[in-house]
Amino acid sequence: MKILTGNDLASGDVIWWAGDGWSRQVSDAVDVGTHGDDLARAEEAALRVVGAYVIDATLGEDGVRPAHIKDRIRAFGPTVRPDLIEQPTEADIGKWVI
C-alpha cells in the first residue's frame, strides 16, 4: 500500500494521512493509491502539513508498517528514548521498528 506522511506545519509533529484528515498514529494511515502526490500538494497548500511525501507500507497483523526503517522510526520516535515514543505500552514495539 501507499501511505502519505509529513510533518504538521505548526508543531512539526510527524503525521499520517487518515482519509479524512491527519493522525499522529501510523496505525490510522490509509492507502492513498495513486492520489498521494495530489493530496500532498493540496494539504501543503492548506497549511496543514509540510514536507509531505508518499511511502510504501504493508498492512499486516501488526497494522500499518512503513517499508523503510527511517519511516518506522518516524512513526515510533527515537528508539533510544522509550519515554518519548508514541506507543510506550506495546512491549514488542522495538521489534516492529527494526
Which residues within the stretch 13-32 sit at the binding site for other proteins (CB under 8 A)? 13-14
Per DSSP (E only), the strands in 8-89 are 14-17, 22-23, 50-60, 63-66
Nearest distance from C-beta of residue 94 to other proteins, angstroms: 10
Binding segment for other proteins among 11-19, 27-35, 57-65 (CB under 8 A)? 11-19
Residue written as grid cell 519515554:
83
Nearest distance from C-beta of residue 67 to other proteins, angstroms: 7
Candidates 31, 50, 63, 96: give the one binding other proteins (CB under 8 A): 50
> Do 25 and 16 contact (CB within 8 A), yes or no?
yes
